Amino acid sequence: MRSKNDSKIAGVCGGLGEYFDVDSNILRILFVLMLLCGTLGFWFYIACWIILPVNNALPYGNDNNNGNYNG
């Protein structure tokens, strides 16, 4: 899933980082290195951007009940 919270361009690296429990900055560096070695990184990023759904989870601490517990 693509991340809404940890997003620089489309949230691909943030989402992959959350899924694989890896720092998203490391994945960003890997994508840049793949891009510098050829266009594989670019096309893989675009494919992930199109294929991966957006994670619609609310950010931490942002609940809809404004801190009121009703249950």
Sign of the torsion formed by the C-alpha atoms of 47, 5, 64 and 57: positive
Does residue 70 lie within any of the structural domains? Answer: no
Does residue 65 lie within any of the structural domains? Answer: no
Please give the structure tokens belonging to residue 33: 């290195």
CA 64 from centroid of its chain's CA atoms: 23
Please give the structure tokens belonging to residue 41: 């990184």
Domain count across the chain: 1
pLDDT computed for residue 3 by the predictor:
60
Q: Tens-digit pLDDT profile for the chain (71 aa)?
A: 666 666 677 778 888 888 888 888 888 888 888 888 888 878 888 888 888 777 765 555 555 555 554 54
Query: Which structural domain, as residue segments, surrounds residue 32?
Result: 12-51
Neighbour count for residue 19 (Cβ, 10 Å)? 13
pTM of the model: 0.62
Does residue 44 lie within any of the structural domains? Answer: yes
Looking at the DSSP bridge assignments, the partners of residue 34 are none
Does residue 23 lie within any of the structural domains? Answer: yes
pLDDT computed for residue 71 by the predictor:
46
- Enumerate residues 6+ apart whose C-beta is below 8 A from 8: 14, 28
Does residue 19 lie within any of the structural domains? Answer: yes
